[in-house]
Chain A
Amino acid sequence: MGAVWDAFQANDGWGQTWTHIKLSVTALAMATAVGLVLGVLCAKVGRVAAFLVVTVSNLGRTVPTFAIIALILALTSLGFWPAVLGLFLLGIPPILLNSYTGVREVDPGIVEASRGMGFRPLQVLGRVELPIAMPLVFAGIRTSAVQIVATAALAGLVGAGGLGVIVSSGLSNNQDDVILAGAIPITILAALAELVFGGAERLATPRGLRITRRPVIE
């Protein structure tokens, strides 16, 4: 264990961890913003948009992430932003799908009732639909967060830094300690993301809904 710690420090472990966090958080923030807005918009447009949402979701799952990152790298340059772009694209589908589903599944009766109370459409959205959709949205963010943190390791292969650089160094030089020095922090970060957003998801679920909520993306 001591050897792993030494390897971590010798390979700029803290610096790479910070870069890894920066990459992940930036990509997640962008994916959340875009995914949430698009998801809500699509939910309002109706059945037509369902096709778009499902397709994007499927593509996000099926196109190999590594290929996306390699493509972005080849079309732009090495470094932080190309990697963020790739991770951002990876993170959108779960958030998009869950936001869309979350808003669409709001009981129409509740929406009716709130309109009846005089809420304008934007108020209905902000005070009724979104809060009810929140647990599902957070579930989507949680899934994306974990995937982004894990995949950010690949950023190291395309010059964006991050803990993947340490793993790749260990791979090249056949040094298990170095591999662990990169892999363990990534795993810890992913677990943290799971905890944080899992907790947020639970907090956002009103008591009454906790039993009935059906996760769309696990």
Chain B
Amino acid sequence: MALLTATLAALVMLAAACGSDDDSSSSTSGGSAAGDGVSVRIADKGFSESFIVAQAYAQALDAQGFDADVTSLASTEIADKAIRDGEIDVYPEYVGTSYQTVLKLSAADAPTSKEEQFQQVKTAYEQRGLTALTPAPFNNGNAVACTQEAVDKYGIKNLTDLGKASANIVYSANAEHLTRPDGLPLLKRVYGFNPKEIKTVDISLRYKPIEDGQANCVYAFGTDPKLGQDKLVLIADDKGAYSAGLSYQTFPVVNKGFYEGLTLEQRTAFTDTLDKVNAAFTQEAIIPLISRVEFDKEDPEDVANEFLTSAGILQ
């Protein structure tokens, strides 16, 4: 009998733990401010820069009285599907990525002005039930980076040379990149880049094969601090087809239903907050932040918090 009671007690405690609502927001939400405790579900795409931007959005919104939480998603497609289905409310995307991967438009047909590209994306997104808010200044383009050794040995001065040296290249990239229209398929099609071997890794680990000496080229982002640390060379885009022509500024994608469901006051606070955060993300500002997360192993939450404080967005 005692045994039975003990078991039941344990199960009850377990059930209580299961039933309790978890407090998921990372900072205090002052319900009196414009946000009124409205819940905002933010997502990131699973790599350092994305973590930082999403955390910055979350903390700034929390300070305005919203109740934000962040979920990590595995890829662009998953994030796009999730936001259209209304399972998340906001996530940071890149103009170029929206252009080529989500909307499947060709970079060759893109307008030259970054502003026009964004407007094109914004209009197309409206028809998909999504709202696009103002982008941040920093530009995080896609690139290929190779070791100095590979560049010297195979005479790689630009992407066309890279294509010619394909048989000597071991390329490190994540699964999404391998089939994304603006990823490896584009490099293959335009520059004839067909690496001898591909190391497929999680996007956040793409530099590890380089560091372990198992790969000599990698799918790089313009803002990667590892470029400097690992002494890698960004390969020039001689034909301008690999993202050079596209803007890769980050902007918040918002679910339209969520956005229009806010009261005027909430919507203004929401938009102004995200605009302020994005305006503070300049190229000079973002790179050291990524560096601290990747090299110093600091928490993206802390890094975002300090950034917002120094930008005057958080007190």
Direct contact of A and B (CB under 8 A): yes
B176 interface residue per 8 A CB criterion: yes
A165 proximity list for chain B (CB < 8 A): 175, 200
A88 to B208, CA, bound (A): 23
A18 to B75, CA, bound (A): 27
0 or 1 for each of B163-201: is its CB under 8 Å from A? (1 = yes)? 000000000001110111000000000000000001111
Contacts A156-B200, A158-B201: A172 and B174 contacting too (C-beta < 8 A)?
Answer: yes
B205 proximity list for chain A (CB < 8 A): 78, 159
A161 interface residue per 8 A CB criterion: yes
Q: Is the CB of A173 within 8 A of B199?
A: no
Contacts A172-B75, A173-B77: A159 and B175 contacting too (C-beta < 8 A)?
Answer: no
B202 proximity list for chain A (CB < 8 A): 157-159
B311 interface residue per 8 A CB criterion: no
B175 proximity list for chain A (CB < 8 A): 165, 168-169, 171-173
A58 interface residue per 8 A CB criterion: no
Q: Is the CB of A77 within 8 A of B212?
A: yes
Q: Is the CB of A174 within 8 A of B208?
A: no
Closest to A156 in B: B200
B214 interface residue per 8 A CB criterion: yes
Q: Is the CB of B200 within 8 A of A174?
A: no
Interface residues of B in 186-232 (CB under 8 A from A): 198-202, 205, 208-209, 212, 214
B214 proximity list for chain A (CB < 8 A): 78-79
Contact of A161 among B75, B176, B200 (CB under 8 A): B200
Most buried by A among B75, B176, B200: B200
B150 interface residue per 8 A CB criterion: no
Q: Is the CB of A77 within 8 A of B208?
A: yes
Contact of A169 among B78, B200, B208, B209 (CB under 8 A): B200
Residues of A within 8 A of B (CB): 11-12, 77-79, 156-159, 161, 165, 168-169, 171-175, 178
A-B contacts besides A77-B212, A159-B208, 17 pairs, CB < 8 Å: A11-B179, A77-B208, A78-B208, A78-B212, A158-B202, A159-B209, A161-B200, A165-B175, A165-B200, A168-B175, A168-B200, A171-B175, A172-B74, A172-B174, A173-B175, A173-B179, A174-B77
Residues of B within 8 A of A (CB): 74-75, 77-78, 81, 174-176, 178-180, 198-202, 205, 208-209, 212, 214
Can you pick out 15 interface pairs between chain A and chain B where the beta carbons lie within 8 Å of each other? A78-B208, A78-B214, A79-B209, A156-B200, A159-B199, A159-B209, A161-B200, A168-B200, A169-B175, A171-B75, A171-B78, A172-B176, A173-B179, A173-B180, A178-B179
